[in-house]
């Protein structure tokens, strides 16, 4: 069948790097392995989108059509005061008319195989409905969070108090118990608040996804994927992960940190990164710097300017700071000089993370526990220090530590300051001694399982094959 006649899947992705990366990989696989055509529509929260956002988008391989949706128009003041989530939600909701136009013009020439949206894409469902195509959600966080969403209406109905006052953890089938202090911050606010209402609305959207939910995980990592508590009915859930950035993007090419890594001994380097948006306070940045130094291990630190107000101060590639951004004046005095022989501080807004984690010299990953980052750690077999900052990251940390044995948590509970001694100690636990050996072995096993899940006979690849066969036969019968 000529590629131009293939049924086409439309994927609509919200403006977060953590969504765009797995969406791009899903689109690539649909085209390369499953005989479909794909159009990836990526929404922007601001115009022009950041350089790294465009670079990731541009790395989408040939065969996947890419459409950049314009950012919603909004006065700067409004953008500055809106939360990350509000901006993401607005960007997607405002793109629906354009998504409709694109979907119609696709459907005029080839069958529309499916519309795939992310967890804020519910407003676009009507487009699939109008055109009689199935609509799926691709959930880019772990099953544990999806399970929390899908069970939230039932949990809400039985809890009288605020979630933050609950003494008992939330127990979801097959998941580690979720302690109150590990719940996403949007659940710890007053249940009468708007923030909570929009969290519950997102959870309900997940539960009412018309045809099913694809989730970026694999059964060996989260064996309970798809399990429901008694009396709770779930939409069909399909584990298709880990879908990750596997090929370098243009910004990664010939990055000097990769040749620096070539010079370092195997497994000797600690890679520190808090994702595309994560930030620490000044005090915490100082303690982290001194702790790295104290640990006496080699390191690569993808550094961001500190932010006193929010742990996600660098989202959308915007910084609330001006020209002083370029200066490293916030680091402890003499730090750069003292660590010059063993450490590399990366100041660019984007580090070639997948290539770094895939490098044999890297032995530990200090991560903010964004799910993509954790999956990349697993995929490359790198033991992790879990340092959750926002969103559902504390839950991700808990499951990676207690359930998968792939990480050790730094004690960041309630935003407390992690001292330099603690930083050094937790890095040593991951890098040295028996516990570190056990973790390395465990990560080796997980890496093999992750690779297998994606291979031709692996469970994730087979799940996707089954699903796409169904899409194609339904599309062809129209
Ligand atoms: N990433 C990267 N270089 C950076 C920052 C992030 O390559 O400097 C990639 C990282 O590999 C991951 C994604 O961006 O694939 C971030 O997603 P994640 O879910 O870990 O965190 P988020 O940034 O969405 O909080």
Closest Cα to atom 18 of ligand 1: 370
Query: How many C-beta neighbours within 10 Å does residue 48 have?
Result: 11
Q: What is the pTM for the complete model shown? A: 0.95
Helices (H) and strands (E) in the chain, counts: 18, 13
Question: How far is it, in rounded angstroms, from Cα 79 to Cα 182?
Answer: 29
Ligand 1, pocket-test mutation among 359, 372, 387, most atoms within 8 A of CB: 372
Residue 113 has phi, psi (to 5 degrees) of: -75, -40
pLDDT tens string 270-318 = 999 999 889 999 999 999 999 999 999 999 999 999 999 888 887 765 5
Q: Is the CB of 302 under 6 A from ligand 1?
A: yes
For the CA of 140, the closest atom of ligand 1 is 19
pLDDT at res. 253: 65
Closest Cα partner for 378 from 215, 225, 243, 239? 243
Question: How far is it, in rounded angstroms, from Cα 288 to Cα 367?
Answer: 13
pLDDT at res. 83: 80
Alpha carbon of 242 to ligand 1 centroid (Å): 14
Q: Point out the residues that are catalytic.
A: 19, 118
Q: Is the CB of 18 under 6 A from ligand 1?
A: yes
Helices (H), 35-134: 51-58, 76-81, 84-94, 96-107, 125-131
Interface predicted TM-score (ipTM)? 0.99
For the CA of 351, the closest atom of ligand 1 is 8
pLDDT tens string 193-215 = 999 999 999 999 999 998 999 99
Question: How far is it, in rounded angstroms, from Cα 140 to Cα 275?
Answer: 15
Give CA 464 to chain center in angstroms: 20
Q: At what angle do helices 51-58 and 17-34 cross, to 10 degrees?
A: 10
For the CA of 371, the closest atom of ligand 1 is 19
């Amino acid at each position: 069948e000529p590629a131009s006649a293939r049924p086409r899947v439309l994927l609509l992705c919200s403006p977060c790097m953590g969504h765009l990366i797995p969406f791009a990989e899903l689109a690539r696989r649909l085209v390369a392995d499953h005989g479909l055509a794909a159009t990836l529509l990526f929404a922007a929260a601001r115009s022009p989108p950041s350089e790294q956002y465009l670079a990731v988008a541009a790395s989408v391989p040939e065969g996947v059509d890419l459409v950049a949706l314009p950012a919603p128009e909004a006065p700067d003041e409004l953008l500055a005061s809106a939360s990350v989530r509000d901006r993401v939600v607005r960007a997607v909701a405002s793109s629906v008319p354009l998504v409709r136009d694109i979907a119609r013009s696709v459907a005029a020439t080839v069958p529309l195989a499916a519309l795939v949206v992310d967890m804020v894409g519910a407003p676009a469902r009507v487009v699939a409905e109008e055109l009689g195509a199935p609509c799926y959600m691709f959930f880019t966080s772990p099953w544990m969070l999806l399970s929390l969403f899908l069970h939230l209406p039932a949990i809400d109905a039985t809890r009288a108090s605020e979630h933050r006052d609950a003494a008992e953890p939330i127990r979801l089938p097959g998941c580690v118990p979720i302690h109150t202090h590990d719940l996403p911050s949007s659940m710890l606010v007053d249940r009468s608040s708007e923030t909570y209402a929009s969290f519950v609305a997102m959870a309900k959207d997940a539960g009412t996804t018309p045809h099913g939910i694809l989730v970026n995980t694999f059964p060996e990592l989260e064996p309970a994927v798809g399990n429901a508590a008694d009396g709770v009915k779930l939409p069909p859930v399909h584990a298709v992960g880990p879908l990750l950035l596997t090929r370098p993007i243009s910004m990664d090419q010939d990055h000097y940190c990769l040749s620096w890594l070539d010079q370092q001994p195997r497994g000797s380097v600690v890679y520190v990164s808090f994702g595309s948006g994560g930030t620490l306070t000044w005090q915490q940045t100082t303690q982290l710097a001194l702790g790295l130094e104290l640990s006496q291990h080699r390191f690569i630190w993808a550094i961001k300017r500190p932010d006193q107000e929010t742990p996600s101060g660098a989202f959308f590639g915007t910084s609330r700071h001006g020209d002083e951004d370029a200066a490293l004046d916030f680091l402890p005095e003499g730090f750069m000089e003292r660590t010059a022989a063993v450490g590399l501080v990366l100041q660019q807004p984007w580090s070639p993370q997948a290539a770094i984690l895939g490098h044999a010299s890297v032995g530990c990953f200090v991560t903010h526990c964004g799910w993509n980052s954790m999956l990349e750690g697993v995929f490359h077999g790198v033991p992790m220090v879990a340092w959750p900052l926002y969103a559902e990251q504390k839950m991700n940390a808990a499951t990676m530590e207690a359930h998968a044995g792939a990480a050790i948590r730094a004690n960041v509970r309630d935003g407390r300051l992690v001292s330099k001694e603690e930083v050094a100690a937790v890095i040593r636990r991951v890098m040295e001694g028996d516990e570190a050996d056990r973790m390395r072995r465990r990560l080796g096993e997980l890496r093999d399982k992750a690779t297998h899940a994606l291979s031709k006979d692996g469970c994730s690849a087979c799940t996707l094959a089954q699903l796409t066969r169904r899409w194609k036969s339904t599309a062809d019968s129209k």
